[in-house]
Structure 1
Amino acid sequence: MGDAMKVVKSLYFQVLCAVILGSVVGHFWAQQAIALKPLGDAFIKLIKMMTAPVVFCTIVTGIAGMSDKRSLARLLSKTMLLFFGLTVISLLIGLVAVYLLQPGAGMNIDPSQLSTKGLAQYTEPAAKLGVVEFFMHIIPETYIGAFSKEEVLPVLFIAVLTGFALSSLGERGKPMLDLLESASQVVFKIFAYLMRFAPVGAFGALAFTVGQYGITSLGSLAKLIMTLYIACGFFVFVVLGSICRAAGFSLWKLLRYCREEFLVVLGTSSTESVMPRMLEKLEALGCKKGFVGLVLPAGYSFNLDGTAIYLSLAAMFIAQACNIELSLTQIITMLAIMLLSSKGAAGVTGSGFVALASTLTVIHDIPVAGLALLIGVDRFMSEARALTSLASNAVATVVISLSENACHRETLHRMLDAKPSATQAEAWDDLEASKRT
């Protein structure tokens, strides 16, 4: 009886039940389910409220506590190189999947007959994306202004500067560092309170999705959705799995360790809803705070592998559906543009769709009107994008930390080998024990 109660109280079980219940309510009571959208929106908004202070405190205290500051440049270059490699692989996997499974073949769509109603909200933001604009956007208007935007990169930028400044001050900066350490504990405590509402947010978000678009709407484009999930599955279990084996740990155990976070992302289609919690859980694996604080937030903007797979796959799907043949040069050009557009859309609502619109706007080889084919089912594909990107960033953080000798292997294996804790209280006991050792 006691074990059953522990399972019922666990966040994993509650979110799982919420996801199932949300799907049922959305299918059988569509109109009522659509009205539940504010539940999911409110939860994501609450978490985003805490993302900036969590990232700031984690990075500042992490950098200020690093003994060797010269390793930071090596860390950043190694991180960006890994992100670039993973993005290239993701784009190629999406391209190969769409060629092998041919989800758009035989549709014979005339682009001139497609309705472009509803595309403006995606094509307008896409028109503003560019390399220069993206890097200028990293710099906030003011120091405090970085916290007012729902974006990670400006906060990351000022946090790195602040961390170096505190480190260079030595003992004079210690009072401020101690204050930020205490503030970090408060911020994570607030976040722990907010995570109790994760089942409510997941229920509302998934009920709305199913109620708004309907499960039956998947029929006509089921092959496209299946192709995306197969491609994402291949990337996670083959590519990331191989990287994990080479680094000396199990991908499956890491996914199990973060199972609650993956369920929350599945329900909300938002990786940002679990960023603060992922920072803490990866640190609990034995990775140093400064490394986790830099690699994971950077990955949220520079390592969107789920989005990269979607970009090449969706673009070629539109070309197939409209009977458009692309030359090798056109395909290579498209992939090169996608390398940039997948980064430039970070922090934009509906980032995957906006990045695709940005790519099609630039290359002109595939009609932008073809986006109308995806509007109805894009929401059902966003879960695959989010889950894939979260898995990739978790793996990248651990791998980079191990490569820099910034992850305690014994702690890593002990935490990954441990049986899943039934309650949050037990999980935090394990965390505190690992910190003491």
Structure 2
Amino acid sequence: MAQARRPFWRTLYFQVLVGIALGVLVGWLWPETGQSLKPLGDGFIKLVKMIITPVIFLTVVTGIAGMADLKAFGRVGAKAMAYFLTFSTLALAVGLAVGNLVRPGEGLNIDPATLDRGAVAGYVTEAQERTLTEFVLHIIPDTAFSAFTSGEILQILFVAILFGISLALVGARGERVLSGLRVLTAIVFRMVHILMYAAPIGAFGAMAFTIGQYGIGSLANLAGLIGTFYFTSLLFVVVVLGLVARTVGFSLLGLVRYIKDELLLVLGTSSSESAMPLLMEKLERAGCPKPIVGLVVPTGYSFNLDGTNIYMSLAALFIAQATNTELTLGDQLLLMAVAIISSKGAAGVTGSGFIVLAATLSVVPSIPVAGMALILGVDRFMSECRALTNFVGNAVATIVVARWEKAVDPARLRAAFRGEGGELTEKESDLLQIEGKSDVPAPAAEPG
């Protein structure tokens, strides 16, 4: 049963767009007022992060426990990790190629000794604490319950996978627990939609703060780097991800139209986490199985960061070029190798890309870490593009893995992208979830 189409002014897409536009206007005309609105954006992101933990846990557990073949779960995980490693590396390579071709930092002739090392000292200190061993050990929470309070995506995913597999192995005795978790899933996704009423306000506050704090004029100082980064990210999405999408049988443009509401939300908040629950829901509604969505999307938020990888390679080359630091081919290959490792585990939240860049440069001695001070002022403007590219990359990855598993029909994807497919009403969808007859969450009830 299809729902009646809402007037455009009552859609989340339009309301978030208005919030972003008003935020830019307020930050530009009244900078101090814009800066004071930062709590609105921070508050919305905290609301979403609050709900991400139960969304990931319930989606993964009910998905795994409902699988007839647990071997398929391991196969999906292996395919997802192979995809993540391949395209993360490709994103780094594209960034390096464009950076060497365009050379956005050339001609600045900056002496590293004149840079303010104190401005980036905090980022460097935090980055130096991130070793590969510590990263792996950090995936294991102190207790099974601390994962739910820490908000660490990989810790939640680790506990959820263990619980889901255990629940599947106990067989019929776990049916009541599984049924209860499905009820909780319906409730939690309803909470997600309630929280989305605050999305336009959050986007307004975050954008007003960004413009008020840094000013539109600050963009001109490093316009070359910003423009190169946005161009490279767009190139990667359109060409690389577009070809991947076409190869497995769906349209990238259709997917972008389908998740346009979520993309605007990511743009307004500079955080891909702010739209994670909605992305998971929409992918399931498009036909991707719950176990695949529950595994690929949260894991991708730590291991499939295409935008962050492009940013790291471009930013590192910009700093080297601006400080007249010559990088050999060996230096650039070392940079790529370190970035492949250091980028893993960077959550899709504002500022994480800068910390990961510090971690990478601290291992590559050729590039002065103090050069990060050159891009500190405009990093916030690049975080939107990082988040958007990461978000689209994870949406594509989930559909690709689902297609590799022959678990989603291209015709259903195309119908969903066109807004067709006879979606269930909220009441019918909730009822089916509670009865355990459907893994598809209720369709989005957009604020308005």
Find the aligned partners of 1:5 and 1:89 in 2 and give their Cα distance: 40
The TM-score with structure 1 as length reference comes to: 0.95
Q: Do structure 1's residue 55 and structure 2's residue 25 form an aligned pair? A: no
SS in 2 for 1:363: coil
Shift of 1:429: 9.2
> Residue by residue, what CA displacement relative to the aligned partner does 1:26-78 show, whole Å, maximum 9, x if unpaired?
11100000000000000000000000000000000000011111112211111
Deviation of 1:102 after TM superposition, in Å, equals 1.3
Structure 1 residue aligned with 2:142: 141
Q: How does 1:387-406 map to 2 (within 5 A)?
A: 387-406=388-407
Q: Distance in 2 between matches of 1:71 and 1:8?
A: 43
Report what 1:345 is aligned to: 346
User: 1:344: Cα distance to partner?
Assistant: 4.0
CA distance in 2, matches of 1:122, 1:374: 13
3-state SS, counterpart of residue 262 of structure 1? helix
Q: Distance in 1 between matches of 2:420 and 2:386?
A: 28
Partner of 1:98: 99
Indicate whether 1:380 and 2:381 are aligned.
yes
Distance in 2 (CA, whole Å) between partners of 1:335 and 1:87 is 10
Aligned to 2:120: 119
- CA distance in structure 2 between the partners assigned to 1:341 and 1:265 by the alignment: 23
Q: Distance in 1 between matches of 2:429 and 2:392?
A: 21
Alignment of 1:15-30 (within 5 A): 15-30=16-31
CA distance in 1, matches of 2:174, 2:16: 42
2:336 counterpart of 1:335 = yes
Q: Between Structure 1 and Structure 2, how many residues are aligned?
A: 431
2:291 is matched with 290
Quote the offset at 1:418 in angstroms.
Answer: 2.7
Q: Taking every aligned residue pair, what percent have the same amino acid on both sides?
A: 49
Tell me what 2:204 maps to: 203
Give the CA RMSD over aligned residues. Answer: 2.2
Worse-superposed segment, 338-347 or 8-17:
338-347
Aligned equivalent of 1:87: 88
C-alpha distance in 2, partners of 1:71/1:420? 27
Q: What residue number does 1:170 align with?
A: 171
Deviations 1:97-123 (A, max 9, x none): 111211101000000001123212211
Alpha-carbon distance between aligned partners in 1 of 2:345 and 2:43, rounded to the nearest angstrom: 26
C-alpha separation in 2, matches of 1:62 and 1:295: 12
- Where do residues 181-200 of structure 1 align in structure 2 (5 Å cutoff)? 181-200=182-201
Q: Distance in 2 between matches of 1:338 and 1:221?
A: 23
1:159 maps to: 160
Q: Distance in 2 between matches of 1:346 and 1:49?
A: 15
Q: Answer yes or no: is 1:254 the counterpart of 2:255.
A: yes
Q: 1:145 to 1:55 in 2, by over 3 A?
A: same
Give the superposition deviation at 1:124. 1.5
Contact 1:115 1:369 in 2 (8 A): yes
In the alignment, structure 1 residue 280 sits paired with structure 2 residue 281: yes
SS in 2 for 1:77: helix
User: 2: CA distance between counterparts of 1:420 and 1:364?
Assistant: 55
1:269 corresponds in structure 2 to 270
1:350-382 per-residue CA deviation (whole Å, 9 max, x = no partner) reads 110001101111111100100000110000000
Offset, 1:410: 3.3
Query: In the alignment, what sits opposite 1:221?
Result: 222
The separation in 2 between residues aligned to 1:89 and 1:278, in whole angstroms, is 24
Separation in 1 of the partners of 2:220 and 2:302?
33
- TM-score, normalising length: structure 2: 0.93
Give the letter aligned to residue 397 of structure 2: A
Partner letter of residue 171 of structure 1?
A: A
Distance 1:5 1:186, change over 3 A: closer
Moved more, 296-305 or 91-100: 91-100
User: Hey, what does 1:364 align to over in structure 2?
Assistant: 365
Q: 1:414 to 1:142 in 2, by over 3 A?
A: same
In 2, are the aligned partners of 1:104 and 1:317 still within 8 Å (CA)? yes
- The 3-state SS of whatever aligns with 1:208 is helix
Please tell me whether the aligned partners of residues 341 and 359 of structure 1 are also in contact (alpha carbons under 8 angstroms): yes
Tell whether the 8 Å contact from 1:348 to 1:354 is kept in structure 2 after alignment: no
Please name the residue that 1:241 is paired with. Answer: 242
Which residue of 1 is the match for residue 445 of structure 2? Answer: none
User: Are 2:62 and 2:178, in contact at CA under 8 Å, matched by a contact in 1?
Assistant: yes
Partner residue of 1:412? 413
| Residue identity matched to 2:40 | L
Q: Could you tell me which amino acid in structure 2 is paired with residue 188 of structure 1?
A: F
**Contact 1:311–1:356 (CA under 8 A) maintained in structure 2:** yes
- Asked if the contact 1:257–1:420 (Cα under 8 Å) also holds between the matched residues in 2, the reply is no
- In the alignment, is the contact (CA less than 8 A) between 1:18 and 1:203 conserved in 2? yes
> Counterpart of 1:15 in structure 2: which amino acid?
V
Distance 2:5 2:137 in 1: 53
Given the superposition, is the C-alpha separation of residues 324 and 356 from structure 1 closer, same or farther in structure 2, using an over 3 Å criterion?
same
- Taking the aligned partners of 2:45 and 2:283, their CA distance within structure 1 comes to 21
CA contact (8 A) 1:62 1:289 kept: yes
Query: Secondary structure of 2:325's partner?
Result: coil
Which consecutive residues of structure 1, in runs of 5 or more, have no partner in the other structure? Answer: none
3-state DSSP class of the match of 2:227? helix
| Alignment-mate amino acid for residue 20 of structure 1 | A
